[in-house]
Amino acid sequence: MSPTKLSVAALLCSTIAASVPAAEQRPNILFIFSDDHAAHAMSCYGSKINSTPNLDRIANDGMLFTNCFCTNSICGPSRAVIQTGKHSHLNGFVRNGNRFDGSQQTFPKILQKIGYQTAVVGKWHLASAPQGFDYSEVLKGQGPYYNPPMLLNGNPEPVKHVGYTSDIVTDLSLEWLKEKRDQSKPFMLMYQHKAPHRNWQPGPKHLNMFDNVEIPEPDNLFDDWSGRGSAAQTQDMSIRTTMTSNDLKLNSPRGLTPEQLEVWNKAYSAKNKAFAEAKLEGDDLIRWKYQRYIKDYLRCIASVDDNVGRVLDYLDETGLAENTVVIYSSDQGFYLGDHGWFDKRFMYEESYRMPFVLRWPGKVKPGSVNHNLISNLDFAETFLDLAGANIPADMQGKSLKPLVLGKPSGGSTTVPPMTIGFGNKLINYSQPNFRDALYYHYYEFNGERRTAHMVRRHYGVRTDKYKLIHFYNLDEWELYDLEKDPREMRSRYDDPDYAAIVAQLKTRVGDLQKQYQVPDDRGSVPADPPSLHQRPRQQKKKAPAKKNAA
């Protein structure tokens, strides 16, 4: 080859190399995910009931998002949205019990194509085997809190583990980071906990945490839902009536080893005996149930926090932290006795809001706070953008990378922070103009038979100040003024002073449905029969047929 041709070839190679980010320049991505962890049970979000020092490390070293929301507040659908960057009606996973079509486009597959090594460990909950991952070891279905069988790399024969699930998921994640990954490639690891999902079984290290401590009650623990419509009044997710003896740990869990069972019974037997002897009734019984529930829930979170600390320590000790984006989130929020409830599903704030904190050393200013409206619809696009990959045009969210780096496109606006409680960070900041509204759609209610928790199908729109919800098979609308009524205690839909707001939001939700290609299939589920408009567990039983006289 002549010197001239050699120079041209060298220049061409250097140009191609410059167009593809070098492996050492592309950040690793560690996505830490939990199940049902409400933002208001994190101390960096101003929790008044617990402390999460290791999760706070991520927020303190990076950016905390106050207004992150889900598109469909239920476990599997949230995970499918994150995989695809598409709303539930397009990715095909609208409710738990569906099976995720793993052949479709997902962000891990795209990352693989550009040279990332991908892995997922822990809760998957999408029924089909993970695709797009070089390594996967996931729980079967929901997975137990103790001694979990796990599916390795899609093999249907489970690997049996002994121990507490949060610890095991962390052990496997660290093992992959230390020993199994190709260290010449950047990585994307989805490190996903089962906790603190129902029925909130604490690990051995935390069984006695909060003993002899009174956890503060939410101000609306005894909400009678009179300010809302039929959907809130006929749900079946109240601490008063819905919690079972298993939820309340009046029965020992199944599947424990003799040694685990001994430790468990030592922690609960005396407490349960004292409860039985107290013979509590009415509000006193509800208060006891709340204390038992919330302490177990927070104990599960404490285990997640401890284990996250183990992984953060490993990143720090090995120097990986310097080029690793660490994100913590959960599949949706949860009711911590708010409105007298547990569980999620509704578009009301406590279950609609997701925690989202991000750390990227050298790129994100420590202690940053962002108040833009974001959602799990944006996660896939963000992962791809962080890695330098092109974002497919059919993904429906927006990359958060410009917000993270403080390089917005467009102007700025003042967006109010979350109102659940936020410590000293309840301040208005000038924020980039990212989006003006979010769309939500919950599908799980059947209408022909009793459904888990009996939450009606609904869609809605949320802006920085208002929320409009349509329970379409009840043909009921609700409007909330989030500035004046942050706890959403009274719908203003029928208030003449809000008529113009209602009209504007109905137009906006219609625009969003067109934008997101939402099919008008509301007639596929019939209007709720009158028998389902009664309070939960109050449906009248049919009287036995009278026998004919002999």
Residue found by looking up tokens 């005894």 in the block = 222
Q: Name 30's bridge partners.
A: 189, 326
Domains of the chain: 26-201+289-432 (3.40.720.10), 438-533 (3.30.1120.10)
Tokens of 490: 């009274």
What does pTM read for this prediction? 0.89
**Burial (0-12, 13-18, 19+ Cβ within 10 Å), 394:** exposed
- Range scoring the smallest mean pLDDT among 55-59, 147-151, 258-262, 546-550: 546-550
- Range scoring the smallest mean pLDDT among 85-94, 327-336, 541-550: 541-550
Question: How does pLDDT run across 458-480, given as a tens digit for each residue?
Answer: 999 999 999 999 999 999 999 99
Give the pLDDT band (50/70/90) at residue 433: confident
Q: DSSP string covering 302-369, please?
A: HHHHHHHHHHHHHHHHHTGGGGEEEEEEESS---SSGGGB-S--SSSHHHHEE-EEEE-TTTS-TTEE
Would you say residue 401 has pLDDT above 90? Answer: yes
Identity of the residue numbered 87: H
Q: What per-residue confidence (pLDDT) applies to 525?
A: 53
Residue 159's φ and ψ, nearest 5 degrees, are -90, 130
Angstrom CA distances, 500 to 56, 310, 505, stand at 41, 52, 9
Q: DSSP string covering 96-140, please?
A: BTB---TTS--HHHHHHHTT-EEEEEE---SSSPP-S-SEEEEES
Q: What per-residue confidence (pLDDT) applies to 530?
A: 47
Q: What per-residue confidence (pLDDT) applies to 25?
A: 84
Residue 337 and residue 324: Cα distance in Å, rounded?
36
Question: How does pLDDT run across 281-317, given as a tens digit for each residue?
Answer: 999 999 999 999 999 999 999 999 999 999 999 999 9
Would you say residue 10 has pLDDT above 50? Answer: no
Give the pLDDT band (50/70/90) at residue 522: low
Question: How does pLDDT run across 142-178, given as a tens digit for each residue?
Answer: 999 999 999 999 999 999 999 999 999 999 999 999 9
Residue range 225-249: mean pLDDT, rounded: 96
Would you say residue 96 has pLDDT above 50? Answer: yes
Q: What per-residue confidence (pLDDT) applies to 432?
A: 55
- State the chain's mean pLDDT as an integer: 88
Tokens of 52: 């999460």
Q: What per-residue confidence (pLDDT) applies to 520?
A: 83
Give the pLDDT band (50/70/90) at residue 446: confident
Give the pLDDT band (50/70/90) at residue 451: confident
- Range scoring the smallest mean pLDDT among 10-14, 19-23, 155-159, 269-273: 10-14
Give the percent of the chain with pLDDT over 90. 83
Would you say residue 519 has pLDDT above 60? Answer: yes
Residue range 485-514: mean pLDDT, rounded: 97
